[in-house]
Amino acid sequence: MPSKDLLTGFGRRLFDDRVMRECLPIDVYDAMRAIRDEGRPWQPEVADVVADAMKKWAMGLGATHYIHWFSPITGSNSGKHDGFIDGVKDGDPILSFSGKMLSQSEPDASSFPSGGLRATFEARGYTAWDPTSPAFVLGTTLYIPTAFCAYTGEALDQKTPVLRSLQVLNKQALRVLRAMGDTATVSVHSTVGAEQEYFLVDKELYDQRLDLKICGHTLIGAKPPKGQEMEDHYYGSISERVRNFMRELDDELWALGVPAKTEHNEVAPGQYELASVFSTANIACDHNQVMMELMRKVAVRHGLACILHEKPFEGVNGSGKHDNWSLVTNNGKNLLSPGEHPESNWRFLLFLSAIYTAVDEYADLLRLSATCPGNDYRLGANEAPPAIISIFLGEALTSVLHSIAHDEQPHVDDKGQLLTGVKSLPLLKRDDNDRNRTSPFAFTGNKFEFRMVGSSQSIGFANAVINATVADTLRIFADRLENAADVNAEIKAIVQDTYKNHNRIIFNGNNYSNDWVEEAAQRGLPNIPNMVSAVPAFISEKNVALFERTKVFTAIECHSRYEVLNEYYSKIIHIDINTMLEMVNRSIIPAAYDYLGMVAKTNHYVIKQGACSRSAQKTVNKLVATIDEVTNYSEALESAVNSIDMHADTASVAHAFYKICSDQMLRLRGAVDRLEGLVAESYWPIPSYSALLFDL
């Protein structure tokens, strides 16, 4: 049994139910619980009582400051630290933390990305306390999860769209359940468990790489003699240094009530994964933001650097964030649980139909929700799903849906037990379907795994999109059911119609194959290969209409985020280019000339002695040619950047940067990596891939 101290220590820095029951009057606690669990409206009269209790509790844990903690559109963690102190009287501090201070704060909205919603002189914005996500103490600061909006009311963050999407999902799911005769369910919410992949490298080596420090990924670097081809890192033994990091990270997360569950070595050398237990989508998003922040902080304490970029190293697997999504009622029923007889579980089949309909209707939005500059390097390789959205249901479920659609008797095979051939091993119950790790949106038993999200991204937007699209499909189903003379017959008709109209999105094969690319095109499925091609989905007429119907985004917010994402892409690639040019021109080329001088001098000395060194002369020739190649490509890259009209519309600028990224940057990188293979290690000015990936 776990020790009592260990169990009671879970969430010890979290202002959760246990704390609220102990320090709040029962009526205030009930009001807070109703807001969180039943979606009741906010009650401002409870704020002063909660604020006073929260301050006393936080100060008891050593907190001296509080922060309205939020995630702006670009997905980072933000907030300003304010002290509880509000003056001094007779040498004693005056402490203040009112309900108004808890409920609302005012950051500078014009300093965050807004896509033109806020001009520099229009600075006012607001953060609003989210009482559905518990506050916590980290270090000496009370963290208050908040939403962030402009003075004019538009959302400027990741949280607000998630909260809006949960509202509409609850509304439409309840309509469907009521039409099916369920009067007991009070609320329905999506639950999420995120699997976070990341890299660890030695901090001293990390600090010697300008690209890692500024851009989060390497812009140059020759492949090491060994990569991941031996497949010996995945699930392998964790080194003691990394294990110590994981232990401290576990302790920090445990204290904050973040239910981290699974950790292991990932496929690439130096790559790892941490998965959390399912929580309500809103809280899961906050948990993942906390997790990423703590990963970076704890890594430094162990002389490590945590890298969350989607593709930090060329030639080995990049990192993603698998978003495991499900639908659960307030009484704990999973609406995506097939049960023992899925062919007759009409509630499951109806909600399943809503999900794959939503994926088919809004594939471009799902692709958009997983787009970021780093993911362009990752998606489509043999490490992540391709850029084509499809859904995996498995042969058994697909067969059930096909049979129902064509009025045939569904046949479900019992896969039975798996015999290993070893008598001492237990008999294994075989699942109805194998798993498909190449599918971007895969059914995995009682949930869907959205595998496309990038490791550095907030999962907020992805879950807002999934919730909104499924809710809108459930709205259509609810309309049909509420107007049906025979509800049971209508349920079957919906399942039949859905399969006939949307089965093109179901694909149970190998998503990596070239055949699938051709087949997907024949099916009419969109293939959106990069971020600049994905972003326009935000302002398509169909998608704006969806967001306005569900009230997840207004039309103005859609257009502003379209601008923000285009600007964000251009800024990231521009920073990458500037960093690359600085590394090449100020470090790589000078180091190569130093080595060339040494080799040439040696060759000259050998010739003076009357000998002939063909290898030295050959090396000199290769070095001269490759240095010239690097110099030429560097000049071409600089010229290409300078030719961009930065005053053009954001989409045009983003497309221009994408062209440079996929052309001149690749050429320069190739030349530099070839040069690395010619220059002696002692002369090369930055740590190699071998050192970065294998020195732990």
- 417 — pLDDT class (breaks 50, 70, 90): low
So what's the pLDDT on residue 429? 57
So what's the pLDDT on residue 267? 75
Least confident window among 101-115, 179-193, 494-508, 567-581: 101-115
CATH of 4-156, one of 3.40.1110.10, 2.120.10.70, 3.40.1360.10, 3.10.20.70: 3.10.20.70
Q: Kindly tell me if the per-residue pLDDT of 642 is higher than 90.
A: yes
The percent of residues in the chain predicted with pLDDT above 70, rounded, is 90
- Cα atoms found within 13 Å of the Cα of residue 550, Cβ hemisphere only: 33
Q: Kindly tell me if the per-residue pLDDT of 242 is higher than 60.
A: yes
So what's the pLDDT on residue 110? 64
Which SS3 state, helix, strand or coil, does residue 86 take?
Answer: strand
So what's the pLDDT on residue 45? 82
> Among 258, 260, 232, which residue's Cα sits nearest to residue 246?
260
Q: Kindly tell me if the per-residue pLDDT of 271 is higher than 60.
A: yes
Least confident window among 310-324, 427-441, 655-669: 427-441
So what's the pLDDT on residue 506? 97
Choice between 284 and 151, residue whose per-residue pLDDT is larger: 284
Residue 114's contacts (CB-CB under 8 Å, 6 or more residues apart) are 73, 150, 154, 156, 560, 564
Choice between 121 and 130, residue whose per-residue pLDDT is larger: 130
So what's the pLDDT on residue 1? 41
What angle, rounded to 10 degrees, do the helices at 240-255 and 281-301 form? 140
Least confident window among 152-161, 378-387, 523-532, 585-594: 378-387
> Among 364, 342, 389, 388, which residue's Cα sits nearest to residue 495?
342
- 413 — pLDDT class (breaks 50, 70, 90): low
Cβ atoms < 10 Å from Cβ of 460:
27
Residue type, 612: C
**Span 329-338, mean pLDDT?**
94
**Span 424-449, mean pLDDT?**
73
Let me know if the fold of 4-156 is the same as that of 165-415+428-553. Answer: no
> Among 372, 366, 284, which residue's Cα sits nearest to residue 320?
372
Average pLDDT, the chain: 90
- 9 — pLDDT class (breaks 50, 70, 90): confident
Q: Kindly tell me if the per-residue pLDDT of 227 is higher than 70.
A: yes
Residue 6's contacts (CB-CB under 8 Å, 6 or more residues apart) are none
So what's the pLDDT on residue 234? 73
What is the CATH code for 165-415+428-553?
A: 3.30.590.10
So what's the pLDDT on residue 384? 74
d(CA 98, CA 274): 37
Question: What pLDDT, in 10s, does the model give residues 516-565?
Answer: 999 999 999 999 999 999 999 999 999 999 999 999 999 999 999 999 99
d(CA 234, CA 236): 5
What is the CATH code for 568-694?
A: 1.20.120.1560
Choice between 114 and 214, residue whose per-residue pLDDT is larger: 214
**Span 40-65, mean pLDDT?**
91
* Domain regions of the chain by residue span: 4-156, 165-415+428-553, 568-694
The percent of residues in the chain predicted with pLDDT above 90, rounded, is 72
- 2 — pLDDT class (breaks 50, 70, 90): very low
